[in-house]
Structure formats: C-alpha cells, structure tokens
Structure 1
Amino acid sequence: MPDMPVIAVLALEGAPGHHLTTPGLVFGTACRVFPGVSYEVRLCAAPGFRSTGGPGPALVIRPPHSLESAEDADAVLVPGHGAPRAGQPSGAVLAALRAAAARGARVAAVGTGTFTLAASGLLDGRRATTGWRHVEELAARYPHIDVDPAGTVIEDGPFCTAAGVFGGLDVCLRLLARDSGRRVAGETSRELITPLDADADSVQMAIDREVAESAGLEPTLEWIGAHLHLPLTLPQIAAHARTSTSGVTRRFRAHTGCTPLQYVLRTRLHEAMRLLRETDTPVEGIAGATGFPSPAALRHHFRRFTGTTPRAYRRAHASTARPL
C-alpha cells in the first residue's frame, strides 16, 4: 500500500486559528467519508511561532511538529499570518518552501501568506492572488508576479494561492479534487455544511438549491466574458441569468465572492492584463475592447487594482512570449 500523502501546514506567528485547523478538518473529513482516501496532516511550527492571530481570539498552542517535519511533505500550506509584509520572512521558512518546490511538492498560500511565498521567488513569472486589500501592495512589491485582482483561487503549476477568510478551505478542496476527483471534493464540501436546524431536511434542500443555482451561473459568466466590450448593466446580467437583480447578486456573491458589477470590472481588468502581455494593441484599443469608457478609466482602475500603470505592466512583461 503506498504511503499516504503528507500535508504540512506551517504555523507562522499570527496565523488565524482556523487557517491552521481547516486542513485537518477538510482532509480528515475526506478520510472518514471515503475509506480509500488517506492523508497525514502535520501542523509544523515555524521559528518564532507563539500564538494565533485574528480574526478570532489569539490562542497559545504548541504544534506537534517542527519545521523540519515539512521536509518530506507532498504539499505545504502557508496560511495568512501576522504582518508578513513588514519585512523579510524567516530564512528557514523560505528555505523550506524552495526545497518543497524543488522536490516537486505542491505549495499553497492563503491571503497574506502569498507575501511569504512571493518572497521565496517561486512565484516570479506566475499568476497569484491575495486578499483584495493587499493586491496593490503585492503587485508593487513583486512586479514579476502577475497579480490577479479578482481574489479567487489561482493555480499556476504546482502553486496555488487564494484570498478571503475561507481561502484555506478553497485551497484544501482544490488539492483534494486534484488527488481524488471532483466528486470526493464536492461530497467533502457538503459534509462540512452541518444543518443546525431541527428540520434538517428543509435546510439540506435549501443547500441543494443554492448549489444548483450557483452551478447554473456558468453560462452567464461565459456570456459576460464574450461581451466585455459592451456596457453591461445589472438588469442585463439578471435577465441573462433569468432571475431578479437581488437574486443574481446573491448568486454571484456565493459563486464568485463579489457582486455582478465587481465581477465584470475584474474580468475586464484581467482581459486587459492579458492583452497587454500578449499583444501590441495600444492602451486606447484595449480600453475599447474591454468595455472601459475611456483610456483614462482603464488607467484609473488598473492602477487601483494592480498598483501600476498599463504601460509599466506591459514593459515588465515584455519578455513574455507572444502568440504567433
């Protein structure tokens, strides 16, 4: 029988308590529900770790493993933590991340943990994300990283980054899906939703309905992507999704983490970034192709979300291979 995969969770000073416990919850649930699935989750204390941080209360804990226990891990998870943007992360932590990547392990970071992973140099030339409050700073500090302003889960090669309070849950489910398939990840996700009402059946029906509605949003997301050059309004989006404006807003928040118009803006910015990287189209042409009313509007939103200008972004990615 092959050895079970090892998931090493780095306990960094100020990491939210739920970021440290979520991997054990997700992979432990998968192991319980599916007898053929097995994982070992190790909580590894990084140098200087003393306690957890917000948004919950600080907890003083003693992780059962040291950083050296991550040396043979199949995946290494870097949680959000303390103030990783204040200075250079621990040399031991950076060495552990580089060693993990060198041996072919997967490496994931959540929220401000992306700053620590970025400091290792492993994300240079790759796409990544962090919490929406910090995307501009990440882009400014690490210009060789293609920072996605949408703040969703981003996979690029063996690296995975995510944002949000529940970004760790998204990352773990993504890793689980890669290992055991979408069905296992989906059932595990559903297992983690525990109805608290006495009428559990009605609660489960509501959950099923919400999942079905979110899944049905894909055609509307594709329609938005194909019509970015047009002025898209909330009523138009709701009409395409065949629901009310309040209903489509609720479904967008559940499915994408943002409102419909926020999603449109971020999709436009993402497409503008792609065009800047892969084409020689002038900024004026890109503004029109992506639905911005003027080049000035594109520059305003682009700087706000990436921390740089379209021209500087194109110059920084000038070495990127252009398609024939």
Structure 2
Amino acid sequence: MATRKLGLPMRVPSADGLPERVTIWEVGPRDGLQNEATTVPVEVKLEFLDRLAAAGLSVLEATSFVHPKWVPQLADAERLLAGLTRRDGVRYPVLVPNQKGLGRALAAGVRDVAVFASATEAFARRNLNSGLDAQFDMFTPVVTRATAEGLAVRGYLSMCFGDPWEGPVPVEQVVRAGRRLLDLGCGQLSLGDTIGVATAGHVEALLRAFADAGVDPSVLAVHFHDTYGQALANTLAALRRGVSTVDSSAGGLGGCPYAESATGNLATEDLVWLLDGLGIEHGVDLDALVATSAWMAERLGRPSPSRVVRALTG
C-alpha cells in the first residue's frame, strides 16, 4: 500500500449537537457480499471478518440465514459461523428473515439478530412476499422468541426515503412502520435509504418526525447508499439529530439484490474520515481498515469504490 501523502484530516473538538462517539455497524460481510455475482469462498469471508475486527470494528454483521435460493452468496452461513474466531468485545449479528432462520441462528450460537422489514407495500411484496401490514405478523413470533431467548434484536426498515416502484415515501408512513418494529420488541431501528435517494433535508425531516413520535435517537441507526453521492451529507445530518449508530460497508461494497437501482453502501473508510475530521470517537484504525478493503478488492477482482481507499492506496 502506498504511503499516506496527506495524513489524517484535522481533528477538531466535537461540535455542539454531535455525539462524542459513534458506533459503526459494519455490514460489508453480509450486505456487501450478498450482492456479488459470484460466491466468495468461506475462507476469504472468515479472513475478512477477522481483519475487520483487528481494525477495531466492534459490530460485524456476519451473514444471513435467508434461504439459499434467494441469496446463494450466503448459503454458507452455518459453515462461516462454525469457523468464526470471535474476538472479545466484538458483536457478530446475523440477519434472520423468519422463524426458520431464527432457529438456524440459535442452533449456531448467535446472540445478535436482525429482521428486515419494508416501509412500502411494493417492496414488502417483492422482498418478503407479504404486504406492508402483513409483514409484521411474520416478524412478531421471530422477535418474541428472540427476545425470550435473550438475544439482541435489530429491526431494519428499508425504502425509508424512496421506493423504485412507489416513488417518494411519506414520512408519516415510515414512522408508523418503524414504531411497529420497536413496539414488537426490536431494541434498535435502522432506517435504510435502500436506493440512495435521500437528501440531508429529508433525513432531518424524518428524524424530527420520529422524535415527535416519542422515539429517542439513541435507538435509531441510519443506513445510507451512495447512489447520488449524498451518503456522507446524509450521515452528518443524522449525527446532528443525535443518531450515534451508522451502518457502513468496508470498501463501499454492496447494494440490494431486490432493488436493481441500489448501488454501494456508504464506505466505512469514508465514514471514518468524516468522523475523524469532526473529532468523533469510533475506535477504528483507518490504515488497517484501508488495507483490509484493498485486500478484499483484489480478491473480488475490481478496485474499491471508496474514495478514501483509492486516495490512500493510489
């Protein structure tokens, strides 16, 4: 890797209204790799996870128990978890779509799970074969059993800002769906800009509406895609509204297999650069993270889309 030319961004004290520390929820191993055209060998996935943990990331979304027919790239979930070397202080959540998926996760010794809901009717039908309201009937027994087993449960809510079939999504519709996931027992709600159409003003309006509905920003996370280059601006808007958990993907890997217009996630390196410049703690070694993403890019046979990775390895 080339020597860093410009050093780190200037660190300044965290501004009023910004969190002192942000938890980075790393989704590259799951959301990043699930959209690859070819399956990444489990041995590579395991090394990827270990390198990410060594770089200081404390939450690594490891895999998904979705049926292999729908996401064949993650068909090795049991093998991956059986071979995983868990590091102290690192969480390894997995995505579970239904009760069967939860059963598989419990059998694998998982302690953190996530369910994946939609804020729109159209995407619920395409992604979950359910309706906007009916999807919660499917999630109720999953969340109930998971919490009874002592698992931490996260709720993903997709299409929070725009839907390729329905267009812009009304803020009040997103808040109603999000509140239902929280009321089911999800301890955290991740708001997804699945196709990357959000703007900072829209983010602020949505988070303000959640606050007006009695939802504290401490239980919210944001999950931005960078389709229109707005992911970092949207992240800063969320931080200013008190959100302190941000989803990102090492090297900017990922998209969504059910939404063709979705491009890569916010790159973790780009997020770390932003947080460093704002004086916000995160616990990640940027050099180690960049080296990891460059290593994975070589295995995928293409350059990383992360601007920070390109700048520090060019």
Task: Return the TM-score normalized by structure 1.
Answer: 0.32
Higher relative contact order (Cα pairs below 8 Å, separated by 6+ residues): 2
Q: Which has the larger radius of gyration?
A: 1
More helix per residue: 1
